[in-house]
Amino acid sequence: MSNKNSQYEATGQAVLTAVGGAANITSVTHCMTRLRFNLKDASVPNDDQVRDIKGVIGVARAGGQYQVIIGQTVSQVYDAVCAAGDLAHNAPINENLDVNQPKEKLTWKSAGSMILNKLAGSLTPLIPMLIAASMFKMFAAVFGPSMLNLISASSDLYKVFTFVGDAGFYFFPIILGYTASKQFGTSAIVSMFLGAIMIDPDLIKIVTAGKAFSVFGIPMSLVNYSSTVIPIILSVWIMSYVERFFKRYISEALSTILVPTLTIMVMVPVSLCVLGPAGNFIGNYICEGILAFGKMGGVPSIIAIAVIGALWEILVMTGMHLLMITTMMMIFAQSGHENFVTLGAVAASLSVAGMCLGTALRLKDKDQRTLAWGYLVASLIGGVTEPGLYGIAVRYKRPFIGMMIGGFCGGLYAGITHITAYVMVPVANFLALTGYVGGSSVNVINGVLSGVVAFIAAAVATYLIGVESKPTSITDTTKDFKLVEA
């Protein structure tokens, strides 16, 4: 254990130095596999030097962030980075840090990157909760009356599985209030309070009653904000400016009482009468549009799902998958099922494992073959696709084609058989296939088969296409990575 800790510390210190030290870091967080830096000067890190650090798989610049791909041990390396640089964990961005820095010109591209960055920062921390909640919903579906019928719907165990699973989605506004506050640099507790207001039982009773209601004389749209995403994120964003305004003009002696009170006083009508309805409209529009596209049937819908399967890992590398993940979260939270994006994403995840298998069978070099087998286990069991993606697909190039073929074939089968995902399982291993539990037995069977098709097609295609004899320079780090990840 001490040797592993020493390795994490060495990796964390090396990464911290490579990005310009603590002085160049505005904030740093991490997702399941990547360190995500917001840097004052993004030109400081040398990508090739960062890739050469022991324990680093690769580097990506996306969503306004400098991302260092670590893998399953990212949390340990993240702790090491924070300790080495005396950085706060999940610290919000301090606007004062950039006072003397040149402001980036606002363009459509930079605005899009900023939006993705904020969405990623708000939603990524929710993944562990979503995994747990989704697993409980899966337990209810598998062991309940809809499938194995081992427990009845009236049993205490079934009820526990149900309300624990539902809680993870129902209370989205409160939990998102916390994560969004970290992104917008505002009070976490007040943000959570605002989220709680939006799903207060008395407010929901008012909405359910369907009678006209006003907030301080302003007509309120009758909207149930439980399980919603965009309304609270928009509200916390605006709240960050409102709170900042009051902090600026209210003396410190009175700020403890007046700032939170006046902030909520302003935000209640703004959220319930303006931002909430607008955000709910946007969310419903996106969700209904995606679901409708998935229900269209016919060749266009089937091909679209197959294309998502083929291109998903490219979206992951560029960070553009965050927009689709956000959409998936909204659809599952509001509709309880999804039949478009998930199908291609699951197929793509299984195709990475298939590509690793095809590469392992084709490689002649013993060390590289051992690494490929390790990447297969990391992907299929551990749910971490980056080792295979960067250690094989990007490194050798040809397997990338095999991976895309597998994702396309798996997505094509999913589209042809019109399967639906009933549980959001935000992991990339074989458990992702449990997302198809909750409907008919045929739906489950075809869902599993879509993953099998993606896996086998990717393995066969990769094996037949072959592997380049000379890998690109990005692979020089994979041997070191084996010590940490395998």
Catalytic residue among 31, 273, 287, 409: 31
Instruction: Taking the CA atoms of 379, 382, 385 and 388 in sequence, report the sign of the dihedral they define.
Output: negative
Q: How many residues does the chain have?
A: 486
Instruction: Taking the CA atoms of 146, 149, 151 and 153 in sequence, report the sign of the dihedral they define.
Output: positive
SS3 content of the chain, % helix, strand, coil (to 5): 70, 5, 25
CA–CA distance, 444 with 433 (Å, rounded to integer): 8
Residue holding tokens 């009051």?
A: 246
DSSP 271: I
Is residue 63 within 8 A of residue 20, CB to CB? The reply is no
Q: Would residue 82 show up in a list of annotated catalytic residues for this protein? A: no
Is residue 12 within 8 A of residue 84, CB to CB? The reply is yes
What contacts 163, CB < 8 A, 6 or more positions away? none
10 Å Cβ neighbour count for 100? 7
Cα→Cα distances 405→169, 386, 453, Å: 34, 18, 10
Tell me which residues are annotated as active site.
31
